[in-house]
Amino acid sequence: MITMCSSSGLLSAILLGYFLRLLQLLSTCLAFSLVASVGTWMGAVSNWSIFIWCFCFLVTLIILIIEFCGLQSRFPFSWYNFLITYACYAALLCISASIIYPTTYIWFFPHGRSQDHAIAATAFSCIAAVAYASEVAWARTWVWLGVITSYMVTVPGLLKGLEAFVAGVIFAFIIDSHLYLHQPALVWCVAVYSICFLLAATALLLNWCDCDNRLPVAFPSFLLGLTLLSVLLYTSALVLWPLYQFDEQFGGQPERPRCDDGLVYSVCTWDQQLAVAVLTAVNLLIYVVDLVFLAHMVFSRTEDQLRGSQFPLLYKS
């Protein structure tokens, strides 16, 4: 009876996974099809949204094909870790597209077919984000039940993924090199974003490839060192970026110029600078939360080990 219940539960979980992926496939396909059908995908922001929907559609389609063909075991990494990592990032990407695309385009379209298609594309993007987030929640349930293990559904894993995602959004805003090449301090800020992104990506890849146990130190201690370094680097960026972008004494522009050109196909330069400053503060806050959580984890584990080592000594005496 227990075997039958567990088998039926496993079958229900598999069917739920297929349903969520089909919903992700359909919603992302409709999102970029609606935008492309009326030619409303001009400009960098719209191109970014189209790329997100196409990328998520393509990767989800590949995942479905691999699972239908039963090829998961042929990959040299944990398939479940890959699925959870991808679902986390796809949810964040679709959420960003659901916010950035409508706020940049919908209000500038005249009433009619173009605006209706843009609104419908935004709605399907939101559905895709919910579907990917539901897959992450579904995976957390299986982790709690002990069926699978994954670093990405733990608090440090989610924070690391969020740190890398925010850095990716920052890169999208600083794609124009004229924002920072005129000042060495701003170039340093871009280097900080790149270094911290690589550190977070390294931590995720080590766990994804099951290499975290091969490190000469414990993985939480390794993460603690990376996070502390990232906090220090982001603190310098949080000071230098606003100082050199918005302070007149350092060549900055404190007030926003007029950037209304009718239908906006690109984000104003001043708005990009402000967005990077805000995202820098947001990511620093995430790193600080991650640092506190990791420090508590590492020191609690060390304290438990010290307490455990006292028992043999007491027993011997």
Per-residue pLDDT at 234 = 97
Q: Which of 107, 130, 127, 122 is nearest to 50 (CA)?
A: 122
Q: What does the alpha-carbon distance between residue 125 and residue 28 come to, in Å, rounded to a whole number?
A: 6
* pLDDT interval class at 178 (50, 70, 90): confident
Q: Inform me whether the pLDDT recorded for 147 exceeds 80.
A: no
- Do 152 and 85 touch, CB atoms closer than 8 A? yes
What tokens does 182 get?
């005129």
More confident position, 22 or 136: 22
Report pTM. 0.74
**Percent of the chain beyond pLDDT 70?**
74
- For 28, 95, 302, the CA distances from 34, given in Å and listed in that order, are 10, 18, 55
Domains of the chain, residue spans: 15-149, 154-255+266-302
- For 113, 176, 200, 293, 307, the CA distances from 299, given in Å and listed in that order, are 59, 43, 21, 10, 12
Q: How many CA atoms lie within 13 A of 243 on its CB side?
A: 12
Q: Inform me whether the pLDDT recorded for 1 exceeds 90.
A: no
Q: Which of 95, 89, 84, 96 is nearest to 135 (CA)?
A: 84
Q: Inform me whether the pLDDT recorded for 262 exceeds 80.
A: no
Average confidence (pLDDT) over 20-34:
92
Per-residue pLDDT at 313 = 37
Radius of gyration of the chain (CA): 23
Per-residue pLDDT at 40 = 57
Average confidence (pLDDT) over 262-275:
70
For the stretch 183-214, pLDDT in tens is: 899 999 999 999 999 998 888 777 766 666 66
* pLDDT interval class at 116 (50, 70, 90): confident
Q: How many CA atoms lie within 13 A of 13 on its CB side?
A: 17
For the stretch 292-316, pLDDT in tens is: 999 988 888 765 554 554 434 333 3
For the stretch 203-243, pLDDT in tens is: 877 776 666 666 667 778 888 999 999 999 999 999 999 99
Q: Inform me whether the pLDDT recorded for 252 exceeds 80.
A: no
Q: What does the alpha-carbon distance between residue 146 and residue 121 come to, in Å, rounded to a whole number?
A: 38
Residue in the block written with tokens 């414990």: 218
More confident position, 39 or 170: 170
- Do 276 and 146 touch, CB atoms closer than 8 A? no
